[in-house]
């Protein structure tokens, strides 16, 4: 539930960046949703460790408030046993996170680049804007009063003076684009065109159907430019030297590759951090707000440090080791603190037995609690 809420919030934020692109190029709502959903794998990868962290805090805080952990400790359950359910969930999250980073993210982002490029190179949206005179090439002007979502145009006016000695003017009631392979033609219906005769008089010719080749003057780059987030793991860790002019680009790819492999470790690190704060200590009737607040600040700070290390590794490749070392260090410190609880000295609490008015405490009245 926490992951769904955070993913939805991040998805709404991400959708704002693509909304302008969709509106400007007159694309459908289906295209908008499809492009937005393609960013989900990366968003989930960013949110997943934090979601597991928050879920662990919420669950164990509730157990502690309801005295479930106190009863578990009294019955002899160790901190390791109490931590086991959360660690199993964190382990499943780690594996899922690894699959996201290695396979699903590059697949979805490559498709994302293709769809964005398709939108940007859509000739109908690039050449025709309803109610505006457009000049896609020098000496070529196009106007359409109405442009429908399916790309059909009405009341089309075209003035072609690329050849200054023979300017042409086209007027059509309706027009549409015809695409086949790499050829794009503008088909004019119920059209007429005007040109000048050698004697400087105007000649008008009416036709039911005519077409203009648009690729004669439209040059569109249809090759997607892949970013580090779009590449597979082997392309990041072992980049092709011939594709880069300097080592900076190579280091950026290598840093991204190590970030893909090290980021899932934060599922363990942040979960152990939460367990370290909530499986220890005595029961408090006033709650654990201060304790949880400190844990949240430390957890989010650790994740921010992880992103900082990834950014710094782009300029200092030796810091790639720290991308693995930092989350593992959090795990070791948290395990050490939990381990201290396991080997803590027993606490002896004397209680006044019932039926003894003198308050003498016998051996049977002694209560031992190994875990504080």
Statement: the pTM of the whole predicted model exceeds 0.85: no
pLDDT by residue for the chain (372 residues), tens only, comes to 655 666 666 666 666 667 666 666 666 678 778 888 888 888 889 889 999 999 999 998 888 888 787 787 778 787 788 889 999 999 999 999 999 999 999 999 898 888 887 776 666 556 667 777 777 777 778 888 887 766 688 888 888 887 777 788 888 888 877 777 667 777 888 888 787 777 777 777 788 888 777 766 555 556 677 888 888 998 888 887 776 767 788 889 999 999 999 999 999 999 999 998 887 655 566 667 788 899 999 999 999 999 999 999 989 999 999 999 999 999 999 999 888 765 544 444 444 555 555 545 444 444 444 444
Domain boundaries along the sequence of the chain:
41-115+226-350, 128-216
Distances from the Cα of 31 to the Cαs of 19, 26, 111, 119, 152, in angstroms?
10, 10, 12, 9, 18
pLDDT for residue 169: 85
Look up residue 162 and give its two tokens: 């690329």
Helix (H) or strand (E) holding 360: none
CB 107 within 8 A of CB 38: no
Residues 6+ apart with CB under 8 A from 306: 262, 263, 266, 323, 326, 327
**What is d(CA 317, CA 310) in angstroms, rounded to the nearest whole number?**
10
DSSP 181: T
Nearest alpha-carbon partner for 367 in 284, 72, 353: 353
Nearest alpha-carbon partner for 80 in 371, 298, 347, 287: 371
């Amino acid at each position: 539930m926490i992951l769904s809420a955070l993913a939805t919030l991040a998805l709404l934020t991400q959708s704002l960046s693509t909304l302008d692109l969709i509106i400007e190029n007159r694309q459908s709502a289906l295209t908008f949703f499809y492009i937005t959903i393609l960013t989900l794998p990366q968003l989930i990868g960013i949110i997943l460790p934090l979601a597991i962290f928050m879920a662990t805090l919420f669950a164990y805080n509730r157990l502690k408030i309801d005295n479930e952990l106190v009863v578990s400790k009294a019955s002899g359950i160790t901190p390791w046993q109490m931590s086991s359910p959360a660690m199993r969930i964190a382990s499943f999250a780690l594996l899922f996170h690894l699959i996201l980073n290695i396979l699903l993210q590059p697949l979805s982002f490559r498709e994302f680049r293709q769809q964005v490029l398709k939108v940007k190179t859509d000739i109908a949206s690039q050449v025709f804007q309803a109610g505006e005179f457009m000049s896609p090439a020098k000496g070529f002007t196009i106007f359409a009063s109405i442009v429908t979502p399916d790309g059909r145009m009405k009341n089309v006016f075209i003035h072609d003076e690329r050849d200054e000695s023979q300017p042409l003017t086209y007027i059509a009631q309706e027009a549409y684009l015809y695409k086949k392979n790499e050829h794009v033609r503008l088909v004019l219906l119920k059209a007429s065109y005007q040109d000048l005769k050698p004697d400087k008089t105007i000649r008008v010719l009416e036709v039911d159907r005519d077409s203009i080749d648009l690729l004669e003057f439209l040059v569109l780059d249809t090759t997607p430019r892949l970013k580090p987030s779009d590449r597979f793991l082997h392309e990041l860790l072992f980049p092709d030297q011939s594709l880069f002019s300097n080592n900076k680009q190579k280091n950026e790819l290598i840093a991204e590759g190590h970030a893909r492999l090290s980021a899932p470790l934060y599922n363990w690190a942040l979960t152990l951090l939460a367990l370290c704060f909530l499986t220890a200590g005595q029961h408090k009737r006033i709650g654990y707000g201060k304790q949880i607040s400190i844990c949240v600040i430390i957890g989010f700070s650790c994740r921010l440090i992880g992103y900082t290390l990834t950014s710094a590794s782009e300029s200092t490749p030796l810091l790639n080791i720290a991308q693995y070392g930092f989350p593992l260090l959090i795990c070791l410190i948290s395990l050490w603190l939990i381990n201290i609880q396991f080997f803590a000295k027993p606490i002896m609490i004397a209680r006044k037995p019932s039926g003894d008015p003198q308050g003498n405490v016998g051996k049977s009245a002694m209560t031992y609690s190994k875990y504080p």
